[in-house]
Each structure stands twice: as C-alpha cells, then as structure tokens.
Amino acid sequence: MKKHNFNAGPSVLPAIAIENTAKAVLDLNGIGMSILEISHRSKDFQAIIDEAVALFKENLNIPEEYKVLFLGGGASMQFCMVPFNLLNKKAAYLETGVWAKKALKEAKLFGEVVTVASSADKNYNYIPKGFSIPNDVDYFHITTNNTIYGTEIREDFDSPVTLVADMSSDILSRPVDVKKYGLIYGGAQKNLGPAGVTFVIVREDILGKVERTIPTMLDYRTHIKEGSMFNTPPCLPIYTCMETLRWIKSIGGVKKLQEMNQAKAKVLYDEIDRNPLFVGTVEKDSRSLMNICFVMKDEYKALEGEFMEYTKERGMVGLKGHRSVGGFRASTYNALPMESVKALVDAMAEFAKIKG
C-alpha cells in the first residue's frame, strides 16, 4: 500500500517523476544505458540539464539576467558560499529558525553580521514584523520557510539592498517575484527532487564585487561559466528535478500549486483549530503552508504516542514533530495529494471521538 508521506525531507515526489526516473535508471530514453552510467558530457545529459533549467525559468518566470545552477553540497554549503561571494564588509540576517541561525553563523566567518530581528524568544513560533533592513549592508538574508517550526514568509520583501533567500522548503509552492531577489537557493529534497542537488538562482551582476579571493569551486561565476558542469554534477537528482518541473507545468504551473497548497493547509489547520485534542504551535499569521506543526493540548499530552501509532496503522509516515518542538509535523509539500491530508484529518477527528 502506498503510504501517506508527510516526511519533512527527503519527501513526497510526484508519482510520474518517480516512475520516469525509475525507467531512466534502467534505460534512459532507449539509448541502452542507465542515467546512472551516462557521461555528464554527453548530448543526452546536456539535453536533460538544459530542459531542467528552461523549465525552472518558465515555471518561476525567472528573468533573463538570472542564471539557474544545479550544484552539490546542499543548502548548508550555500550558507558559506553566499557570504564568500557577496559579503564584503557587512551583511544582515533575519533569524527565524535553526537553518537561518546556521546560515548566520557561517556568515560571521566572512565579516560583520547584524541580526535585524529574531523570533528565538518564542522558540521561533512567529515571523518577526516591523523590522528595518539596514542600507549599509552588502545583502539581507532570509529563510522563507522554516521546516522545524512551521512558519513561513509568504510575501516578497521590498529590500533596499540585495535580497538573498533560502527557499529550500517552499520553492515552486507559490509565484515569486524573482526580480526582488539577488539570489535564491535551496536543497531540492522538499519540492523539487531527491536529496543530492541544490538549486541556485542568481542575478549575475551581483557577483565579482568582494575583495577576497574565492576558491574556484566556491565561486558562483565558475559554475555559471561551465553550465553547472565544472565538476561532475549529480546527474540522477537533476533528472528527477526535470521530471518534477515537467509535472508542475503539466498541472497548470506554480499558480495552480499555490491554490492546491492553500486548500490542503486550510483543511488541516481548520481541523487543528476545531479538534478538542490538538493545538497549533505557530502564531496564525505566520503559519506555513508547507510544514504544519501541532501538539496535543496539555491535558491530552499522554496520548501523543498513542495517536502516532493510530496514524501509522492508517498508512501515515513522517508525522513526528522535530524534537525542539515536539508533537506532530505534517509536511504538505507540492506533491502531497489532498487525499493524504483528508486521511490525516479523518484520523484526528476519529481519535478525538474515541479519546475526547
């Protein structure tokens, strides 16, 4: 039986992307070789990465002056690559969770870093508001969605300086005004593909401004010049990304996904707010559409393990909340069907009838 996959990442992918990747592992387009064994210098792989880049640009309406890269190292490598390439004197960061804090820590190795606002005082259960972005920094860094805590920035800021965003877990979940950003990056393993590849969307004119010498492998200009193939790229994950991007286009694009994600989140948040056993962990105006976090109310805390088993018996996986929050986390990424959300909501309602 196919599971209801609520894992936070690696996570659920479109069925067609998985099926076509499986076929490509056995034989890529009838060429008599697997995607696992073809040369990344071959015309067959060049066609794959070219299509993946073109579809990314089309689905997200990326302007011509931006380059799309597929790199290794995960988003965590970008925590140092961003300041290596962009931080000359000073940078500003918005601290909204563990990953934002890790990005901030790495940036401090390269220059002065200011934290414009933080939600650490309430265990990152809200997105700070009313902060001012300083004008005297090289860039301002945000993490748009916080997988651990279930908060999300759903707007594109107007920034007086170069805006950099880690969009690992909400890329392609809504339309984005890419022109407002200098650089967008993220690990693919939430909404785009399997673990092992990282996407970078960068406006070329922001590069080459720092005074330091950048190691060749960590210089974005290296990968732009070589078309993401300075070294051997992660070919299989890039193939799956291409298939996912095909799927996104086929169902009506990012705008359609936004509508689907809003509908899924509403169904689950409505149940959390209605159900006598559960309570959300995030301030309502900061709630994520991608990672929905909730716990048992204090008087029912002892039932958390029992509810987890109840959901597992019904084919649900990945619902255990991160240890820093506890409770439950339902990751409702693009490829998760409404059917899975309704199955969870039904389980919550049934459990409440039994135990409430």
Active site residues: 99, 166, 190
> Which strand (E) or helix (H) includes residue 348?
helix 338-355
DSSP 263-297: HHHHHHHHHHHH-SSEEESS-GGGB-SSEEEEEE-
User: Where do runs of H (alpha helix) occur along 125-281?
Assistant: 220-225, 235-250, 253-274
Whether the Cβ atoms of residue 264 and residue 341 lie closer than 8 Å to each other: yes
Whether the Cβ atoms of residue 145 and residue 75 lie closer than 8 Å to each other: no
DSSP 118: E
DSSP 342: H
Residues 6+ apart with CB under 8 A from 83: 91, 106, 107, 109, 110, 111
Distance from C-alpha of 142 to C-alpha of 154, rounded to nearest angstrom: 12
Distance from C-alpha of 95 to C-alpha of 330, rounded to nearest angstrom: 23
* Six token digits for residue 167: 């969009």
Residues 6+ apart with CB under 8 A from 331: 6, 7, 8, 9, 11, 12, 147, 169, 190, 290, 291, 292, 318
In the sheet with 328-331, reading across from the earlier edge strand, the strands are: 278-280, 291-296, 328-331
